[in-house]
Amino acid sequence: MSNDKRKRIEAAGWKVGSVDEFLGLTPEESAIVDMRFNLAKALLEKRRRLRISQGTLAKRVKTTQPRIALVEKGSASVSLDFMVRSLLAAGASKKEIAVAIAR
Amino acid sequence: MSNDKRKRIEAAGWKVGSVDEFLGLTPEESAIVDMRFNLAKALLEKRRRLRISQGTLAKRVKTTQPRIALVEKGSASVSLDFMVRSLLAAGASKKEIAVAIAR
DNA sequence: GATTCTTATATCAAATAAGATATAATTTTG
DNA sequence: CAAAATTATATCTTATTTGATATAAGAATC
């Protein structure tokens, strides 16, 4: 695993223990980390295009600005469900979401 | 909304109130219901191909047979995260998951 | 048709995610 | 560069999801 990627993962609150650091994540874990990272990025891009603040988007999602901030970071304390709901509220299509997941 | 679809949704434990029955779901709600339904179906198909029981798959996912049964029904008491983890454990690729989501 | 295997439903305690709120840090704008 | 707006972090309470378990219902096999 690249240093860069580990930093990203750890910053989002995922534990990459000293053992796993050498063993690496399982393919399944890795796939999920990737999905979340790409969904987070997709949301940020969607929101930027709309030129709206996290607070404004939060209202559409019926949540709070702090939680949108967490979604955009791909934080471990945010569910996939919540990420998807946020994306849909930001106007993303099922297809766009699928593309982010497959990436 | 077709009678058929409402039945499916209600069977999975989603509430379709007498008001919403006429108003319909919002596009976002509808998209999520679709995703879950398709992911559920994808898991069932994956497992059938492998010719393994829910119990066997449950071990791979590190969960229990009853919860796999719920996943395959797209039950509202199962998170998207859990559905995705189950699919990955059943050998689905990110792409396969994306296809199910886009459908 | 009894037995064994598989799937469905239900309950409840424990773990995890969400909402609400405050406020710190950063960025943008006048 | 000060003020305003935006984003990030932290904490606490409430809601939701999970695991564990029991057991009922249904299918397959002998």
Task: For chain B, give the percent of residues with pLDDT over 70.
Answer: 91
- Lowest-pLDDT range, A10-14, A70-74, B88-92? A10-14
Q: Given pLDDT bands bounded at 50, 70 and 90, which one contains residue A14?
A: confident
Mean pLDDT of B70-90: 97
Q: B98, A98: Cβ pair inside 8 Å? A: yes
CATH of B32-102, one of 3.40.50.2000, 3.40.640.10, 1.10.260.40, 3.90.580.10: 1.10.260.40
Mean pLDDT of A30-52: 97
Report domain extents, chain B. 32-102
In the complex, which nucleotide's C1' lies nearest to the CA atom of residue B78? D17
Phi first, then psi, for residue A76 (nearest 5°) are: -65, -15
Query: Given the structure tokens 């849909």, which residue do they identify?
Result: A88
Distance, Å, A50 CA → C27 C1'? 18
Query: Looking at the predicted structure, is the pLDDT value of residue A16 above 70?
Result: no
CATH of A3-102, one of 1.10.260.40, 1.10.1380.10, 1.10.357.10, 3.40.50.2300: 1.10.260.40
Query: Which residue from A31, A81, A98 is facing B99, i.e. has the nearest CB?
Result: A98
Distance, Å, A61 CA → C20 C1'? 15
Q: A88, B35: Cβ pair inside 8 Å? A: no
Contact criterion met (CB below 8 Å) for B71 and A70: no
- What are the structure tokens assigned to B30, written together? 């509808």
- The confidence score (pLDDT) of residue A23 equals 52
- The confidence score (pLDDT) of residue B22 equals 47
Q: Given pLDDT bands bounded at 50, 70 and 90, which one contains residue B3?
A: confident
The residues, any chain, with a CB within 8 Å of residue A45's CB and separated by 6 or more, are: none
Q: Which residues of A43-75 are buried (b: 16+ CB within 10 A; e: fewer)?
A: bbebbeeeeeebeebbebbebeeebbebbbbbb
Q: Please, what is the average pLDDT of chain B?
A: 90
Query: Which residue from B27, B88, B95 is facing A28, i.e. has the nearest CB?
Result: B88
Q: Chain C: nucleotides under 7 Å from a protein CB?
A: 5-11, 17-23
Q: Given pLDDT bands bounded at 50, 70 and 90, which one contains residue B37?
A: very high
What is the tens place of the pLDDT at every residue in A48-100?
999 999 999 999 999 999 999 999 999 999 999 999 999 999 999 999 999 99
